[in-house]
Structure 1
Amino acid sequence: MDSSIATIALPAALAVIMLGLGLSLTTADFARLLRVPGTVALILGCQIVVLPLLCLGLVLLFRPPPALAVGMMLLAASPGGTTASLYSYLFRGNVALNISLTALNSLTAMVTLPLITNLALAHFMSDGDTLGLQADKVLQVFAIILIPVALGMVLRARAEAFARRMERPVKAASVLVLVGVILTAVYQELDNIGDYIVAVGLMVVLFNVASLALGYWAPRALGTGRPEAIASCMEIGLHNTTLSLAIALSPALLGNTEIAIPSAVYGVLMLFTAAATGFLLSRRAVRDDAAREAAPPVP
């Protein structure tokens, strides 16, 4: 499969968008995370523990071929990606929370991703090989996320009026870039996407929808605010498929195209499901706000 969209176009586009995100952030946004340590711990727990167990249940239920089973577990073990911050930005989530969680997830993935994938290889494939997460891939994640955001935050600190003026056009540009990436990805994979979806489509969709639902409702059940719940929804529901594809396809690591199929399918489908989820949550927020305004004042 041609993975240029996943490895070049999308990271490059998101790096530019991350600069725009940084224009809307201040250090106070990150300091506020210290006030919600329970929320941060809950989201990390869902990402590291609950998602792999959920994925394992789906794999045991659907019984795909061994390589596809390993690919599903590799996907589940992958951290949240920069796309989560973009969607959180578009649908009024706590972007600072997304950025911090992506950084934390990327660090923990250095241990959890090889561990979970190696267990899957040992269980599903008798000739499973060991897996090491390459340092340059981790640095790539940090570079795409932190460096452009830091530059944007510096601009915000030194030219606040300019940063505020740029927020709306950058948001509009983010939507156009996102739509362009989706259309390009679908067009480029048009010949193969049918076979991919038949192979793991239903399993991937169920895993994605369950991840998005878990990401939103688990924090809300504990009384977490809507912006933080939206950030959690996108962080848990949108994996770093660039990383999982690189691990699956790299000859130095797994070098197995079949293992990459779940991540390839997920990487396209998640863009649509996350957009639909964000739209539904936005409509719900509007209805809730209208209901509060219409309610009689409490005496």
Structure 2
Amino acid sequence: MSSFFTWFTNLYPVWIVLSSIVGFIHPPALAWFTGSWVTLALTLVMLGMGFTLTIDDFKRLFKMPAAVAIGCTLQYTVMPLSAWFIAKSMNLAPGFAVGLILLASCPGGTASNLITYLARANVALSVVMTLVSTMIAFIMTPLWCQVLAGQYVAVDVIGLSLSTFKVVVLPVLIGVFCNYMFPQAVKKIAVAGPIVSVVAIIFIAGGIVAQSADAVAANAGKLAIAATLLHGLGYLLGHTITRLFRYPADVARTISIEVGMQNAGMAVMLQKNHFAHDPMVAVPSVFSSVLQTVIGSILAAIWRSRMPEPAPPPAVVPASDHA
């Protein structure tokens, strides 16, 4: 059974595409998956993430603070600013522009940990970065939405902050607490975490397409280009800037992946709760959930074939120089 779970989970981009096709061809099949269903699905995903974390994961933050700081800074600057620039340059409709900015203002997604593993990068750093970017999302996501998306629509900053904390941050903290108090029980439950997350994302993606099939059909080309540009810039700038700070390849790859991948499920939840008047706001998340994974998987395959060089050893000062 575990091999089936692994196989199913590794093919989640395929299932997202298929669910999107089903939602497009026969909307009634998935149009019901909206509102509280999306909130529940995302809550389960974030709780599952919490189940996989331990107190030691928090302690790792203090072992690599500079790399985490650089990664999270890039996450919350490169992505939202790139989304705003792309939306302006491509003259996206207001709903799509807000959706792209909302998505880019979200933290890294849990799928980044899998892509990091496949790329032979630094999985521990990936986990810590996902954790930190998620923990501060209830501040950073509303802030960027106010600054950038506020140019298009009114933004309920307090509402966005509360929703993010309740549905994204709090379930992670509850999961960590349960793992600390009941490690053996959580270990058994956590096995199903990845497949539950994949199923949740499948329904979220299909539900979005089903509810906005006409908008998806009319704007598929433009939105696909916008999503590709957004995530391509995230991967490229995340890697390039990290290398400029002279970090080794495995760290640069990790930060690149973390910056380039977003929590699309969270963006959909926030749209349903705070931008429900415009269903087009959720549509960019469908394209992003697929394209960010496709780009990330291609990069992982390339990087996996090129083992990163080891970090240079610390310089040794000759004894005579101590005089």
Q: Distance in 1 between matches of 2:165 and 2:149?
A: 22
What's 1:104 paired with? 132
Q: Do 1:117 and 1:131's aligned partners in 2 also have CA atoms closer than 8 Å? A: no
Contact 2:120 2:250 survives alignment (8 Å) = yes
- 1:46 deviates by 1.0
Describe how 1:213-252 pairs up with structure 2 within 5 A.
Answer: 213-250=236-273, 252=274
User: Paired residue for 1:282, among 301, 304, 323?
Assistant: 304
Give matches, 1:173-252, under 5 Å: 189=209, 192=213, 194-195=217-218, 197-250=220-273, 252=274
Is structure 2 residue 83 aligned with structure 1 residue 61?
A: no
Structure 1 position 72 matched with structure 2 position 94:
no
Structure 1 residue 203 displacement after superposition: 1.1
1:172-213 Cα deviation digits (max 9, x unpaired): x96x88887887777775894654522411011111111122
Tell me if structure 2 keeps the 8 A contact 1:82–1:240.
yes
Q: CA RMSD in A?
A: 3.8
TM-score scaled by structure 2?
0.66
- How do residues 55-204 of structure 1 correspond to structure 2 at under 5 angstroms? 55-123=83-151, 125=152, 128-132=153-157, 133-143=160-170, 145-148=172-175, 189=209, 192=213, 194-195=217-218, 197-204=220-227
User: Which residue matches 2:19?
Assistant: none
Tell me whether 1:52 sits opposite 2:80 in the alignment: yes
The Cα shift of 1:17 comes to 6.9
- Alpha-carbon distance change, 281 to 255 in structure 1, aligned in 2, over 3 angstroms: farther
Cα pair 1:241 1:266 within 8 Å, conserved: yes
Deviations 1:89-141 (A, max 9, x none): 44444344333333432343333322322333442x3xx22323152432332
Match of 1:261 in 2: 283
Q: 1:143 to 1:284 in 2, by over 3 A?
A: farther
Task: Report the identity percentage.
Answer: 23
Give the superposition deviation at 1:47.
Answer: 1.6
Partner Cα distance (2:263, 2:138) in 1? 13
Letter in 2 for 1:140: V
Describe the SS at the equivalent of 2:92: coil
CA distance in 2, matches of 1:217, 1:145: 31
**Structure 1 Cα separation of the partners of residues 109 and 206 of structure 2:** 23
Contact 1:205 1:269 in 2 (8 A): yes
The 1:68–1:202 alpha-carbon spacing in structure 2 relative to 1, beyond 3 Å, is same
Q: Is the Cα contact below 8 Å between 1:248 and 1:254 reproduced in 2?
A: yes
Distance change >3 Å, CA 264–CA 7, structure 1 → 2: farther
Residues 106/15 of structure 1: CA separation in 2 closer, same or farther (3 Å cut): closer
Structure 2, gaps ≥5 residues long: 1-22, 24-30, 311-323
Query: Which TM-score applies when normalising by structure 1?
Result: 0.70
Q: Which residue does the alignment assign to 2:5? A: none
Change (3 A) 1:184 1:103: closer
SS of structure 2 residue aligned to 1:34: coil
> 2:69 corresponds to which residue?
41
Given that 1:82 and 1:144 are in contact with CA atoms closer than 8 Å, whether structure 2 keeps it comes out as: no
Describe the shift of the 1:67–1:58 C-alpha distance in structure 2 as closer, same or farther (beyond 3 A).
Answer: same
1:54-90 Cα distance to aligned partner (Å, 9 max, x none): 2222222211112212222112211212222333344
CA separation in 1, counterparts of 2:269 and 2:296? 22
Alpha-carbon distance in 2 for matches of 1:17, 1:112: 20
8 Å CA contact 2:42, 2:269 repeated in 1: no
- Show CA shifts across 1:220-254 (max 9, x none): 3323234433331222111111121112222x555
Pick closer, same or farther for the CA change 1:107–1:49 going to 2, 3 Å: same
